[in-house]
Amino acid sequence: MPIPFLKQPVLYKSIKKTFPKEKLLIESNRGMSYYIGGETHGNSVTFTGHPLYILEAIKCIPLHLVGRVALRFRAPCHKTFLKIFSVSRTIGFDIEKDQIFLLKNFKKIKLALEYFVGLSDKAFIPWDVPREFTELVVPSKPF
pLDDT in tens, the chain (143 residues): 555 556 677 778 888 888 888 889 988 876 554 444 455 556 778 889 888 999 998 888 887 777 777 788 888 899 989 999 999 988 888 888 888 888 788 888 899 999 999 999 999 999 899 999 888 776 555 55
pLDDT attached to residue 42: 60
pTM exceeding the 0.85 threshold for the entire prediction:
no
| C-beta pairs of 29-38 under 8 Å, 24+ apart in sequence | 33/2, 34/138, 35/2, 35/68, 35/70, 36/70, 36/92, 36/94, 36/101, 36/103, 36/136, 36/137, 36/138, 37/136, 37/137, 37/139, 38/2, 38/68, 38/139
